[in-house]
Chain A
Amino acid sequence: MKTYFLLAWRNLWRNKRRTLIASASIFFAVIFALLMRSMQEGSYDYMVDASVSMYTGYIQVHAKEYWDKRSIDKSMELSQTRIGKIDSVKHVTLVTPRLESFSLISYGNVTKVASIVGIHPELENKMTDLKSKLISGKYLTEKSRGVMIAKGLATVLKVGIGDSVVLYGQGYHGVTAAAQVEVEGIINFTLPALNKTMVYLSLDYSQWLYAAPNRVTTISIMIDEAKKINEVHVAVRKLFDEKYEVMMWSELMPELVQSIEIDNAGGIIMLGILYVVIGFGIFGTVMMMTAEKTREFGILISIGMKKWRLSYVSFLESLFLSFIGV
C-alpha cells in the first residue's frame, strides 16, 4: 500500500508546474467558496440579529394562543420571579415585557389603526435601541402618561409634539380602552411597516389603559450568541408549563426564514456551479495526466499490474492533488 502511495505522490511531482497550477486552482476555488459562504452565512446572522434587535428578540414567551389570535384577552400575568428565572438562564442578556394591542388613533378628522405597545422604556431601549430612533420630543419613562408615535403615522395624522391624540380600542375582557394622550416623542423607523403603525406607551400606563393590571402579552428575550438559541429555548421552555408558548425568532418571523432559505438556495446553486467548474478543471488535469501515461499504463499492465491497481494509483493522485489545493 505504501508503494502505491509513493508511486502516486511521485507521479504527481513529475510535472511540478502542472501540479502547482492545478492545486492553485483548487486553492482559489476553495478560498472563493469559503469566502462566499462565510459572507453569506455572516449576512444571515447580521440580518437575523438586526431583525430581532429591531423588535421581536430571539425568543418570545406568550400565553398559549396569543400569537395566533393577537388578543389582549390572551395576555398573561407578569411574574417578576419568572422574569428573574429567565434572566438567570445562561446566554440570556435581556428580558423585556410588553403589552401589545391594536387601537384606533385619532387626531382631528383623521383616524388610523395603530399597533399599541406598552413597554418598559429602559429595557426596551436596551433591546431595540429605541431611543436612538427618537427624532423629536422626549423618550418615555416608566411614569410617562403620553405616547411616542412613529413618524409615518404622525405625518398621516398631522400631529406634532404636545398635540393630544385619542386612543380608542378594546381592553382586557372587552373593557373599552379610550384615552386622550399627549404626543411626547416622534420616532423614525427605517421599516415602513413599523413607521406607519407603531405607538409606544409606558407599560404601567398601557396596563391601566387596557384594564390589564400586571398583565403582559409578550416577554421578549435577547441572547448573547445566536447559535445558542436552541439551548436557551429548551431552558426557557422548562420554566413555563403548557399554558404558555415559547417561540424562537424563526417561528416569529417565518418570512425572514423564507428569504434566507431562498437566498441560501441561490448560494448553494452558485457553489454547485463553482464546484462543477473546478471539478472539470481537475478532471481535465487528471485526463491530461492519464493521457500522458497511456503507454506507461500499458507497460504496467503488461508486467502484471491489474487495472484496479492502476485506477487506485490514479485515484490517489487526484486525491493528493485535491488535498494539496485544499
Chain B
Amino acid sequence: MALIELKKITKIYDDTAVPVQALKDVDLIIEKEEFTAIVGPSGSGKTTLLNIIGGLDKPTSGNIIIDETDISTFKTDQMIDFRLHNIGFVFQAYNLIPVFTAKENVEFIMLLQGVEKEERERTAVELLTAVDLSDRINSKPTELSGGQQQRVAVARALASKPSFVLADEPTANLDSVTANNLLDIMEKLNKEHKMTFIFSTHDARVIKRAHRVVTLRDGAIESDVITDNAMANAN
C-alpha cells in the first residue's frame, strides 16, 4: 500500500515579478520502507517537492495523500499536528535547538506530542545510542561536530515515531567519512526499523546508496529508477 501518493501536483510561485512554475503535474507514489533519493539540478524543484510532501508548503493544485489521508486541504494547525505525529525532518543545517543538549533536543519533540517524562528520557537515550551518541547525550550542539549534530537530528526525527523521514541535503555539510557513517545509520534504521527515508540531494554518496532515484528536471519527473541496492536490500 502506498505511503505517500502525489496526484498532479503543480506549484507556481506567483509572488515574484514573473511567476515561476516549480512543479508541473507531478505524480509520485512512495511505498513504505523505501529509501528514496529525489535528485536533480538546482532549480529542478526537489526541495519544493520535499516541502510539499512534508506539508511545509501547499501545492497550487493537486493532492497529497499520506497514509490514506489527503493533507492538501489541511489548515495550518492541523498540518502542524500532522507533521508532529507523522513526519520526521532532517535538515541540511542540522537545525537543533542550540540551548538544549542532545538528549533534550530529542526529547523535545516527544514533549510536544505529550509523551510522559520517563518514556521521553528512555526513548531519547535509546535513539541517541542507536546513532552512536550514547557518550554525548548531555552535550549541547555547539559541543558536537557537524556529523554528530546531524546524527542528533536523525534521532530527533525518529523520536516522534513518524511514518517517514524527509531529509533535505542531509550530507551536504559533512565530510566523506562522516557522511558515510550517517548514511550507514540511516540505512540500518531503514533496514532494521523499517523506516521510510526520502532524501532531496545532489550528493553522489546518497544517490549511490538509494534504493530508488527519482530525477526531477524543470519541475517534472524525468526518470524514476529502482536501483540495484533495492534488490540487494530485498535479499
Q: Give the interface of A toward B (CB within 8 A).
A: 3, 6-7, 10-11, 13-14, 295-296, 299-307, 309
Q: A304-B160, A309-B112 are in contact. Are A296 and B97 (CB under 8 A)?
A: yes
Query: How many A-B pairs fall under 8 Å by CB?
Result: 52
Q: Return chain A residues, CB-CB under 8 Å to B20.
A: none
Complex contacts, B160 vs chain A, CB 8 Å = 303-304
B: residues with CB less than 8 A from A are: 54, 56, 76-77, 80-81, 83-85, 89, 91, 95, 97-100, 104, 107-109, 111-113, 156, 160
State the CA gap A295–B94 with chains docked (Å).
12
User: What is the CB-to-nearest-CB distance from A258 to chain B, in angstroms, rounded to a whole number?
Assistant: 55
Contact A305 B112 (CB under 8 A): yes
A3 touching B111 by the CB < 8 A rule?
A: yes
List, sorted by A's number, 21 A–B pairs whose CB atoms are closer than 8 Å: A3-B104, A3-B107, A6-B104, A7-B97, A7-B99, A7-B100, A11-B99, A14-B98, A295-B95, A296-B95, A296-B97, A302-B56, A303-B156, A304-B80, A304-B81, A304-B160, A305-B80, A306-B77, A306-B80, A306-B81, A309-B112
Contact A301 B100 (CB under 8 A): no
Are the C-beta atoms of A303 and B99 separated by less than 8 Å?
A: no
The reply to whether A303 and B109 contact each other, CB–CB distance below 8 Å, is yes
B interface, by DSSP: helix, strand, loop or mixed?
A: helix
Closest to B88 in A: A303
Given A10-B99, A11-B99, A296-B95, A302–B111 Cβ distance below 8 Å? no
Which residues of B lie under 8 Å from residue A307 when comparing CB positions?
A: 76-77, 80
A296, B96: Cα distance in complex, Å: 9
Q: Is the CB of A303 within 8 A of B89?
A: yes
Which A residues lie within 8 Å of B107 (CB)?
A: 3
- In the assembled complex, the CB of B210 is this many whole angstroms from the nearest CB of chain A, namely 23
Are B91's CB and A299's CB within 8 A? Answer: yes
Complex alpha-carbon distance, A10 and B97, angstroms:
10
Task: Let me know if A301 and B80 touch, CB within 8 A.
Answer: yes
Bound Cα distance A323, B83 (Å): 35
A14 touches B99 (CB 8 A): yes
Which residues of the other chain, B, contact A11 by a CB distance below 8 angstroms? 99
Closest to B159 in A: A303
Taking a contact as CB atoms closer than 8 A, the residue among B83, B98, B100 that contacts A303 in the complex is B83
Closest B residue, CB atoms, query A7: B99
Which residues on B sit within 8 Å (CB–CB) of A296? 95, 97
Among the interface residues B81, B89, B95, B160, which one has the most CB atoms of the partner chain A within 10 A?
Answer: B95
Distance in angstroms from B64 CB to nearest chain A CB is 16
Instruction: Using A302-B89, A304-B109, A305-B112 as known contacts, say yes or no to A10 and B81 having CB atoms under 8 A apart.
Output: no
Provide the residues of chain A in CB contact with B108, threshold 8 Å.
3
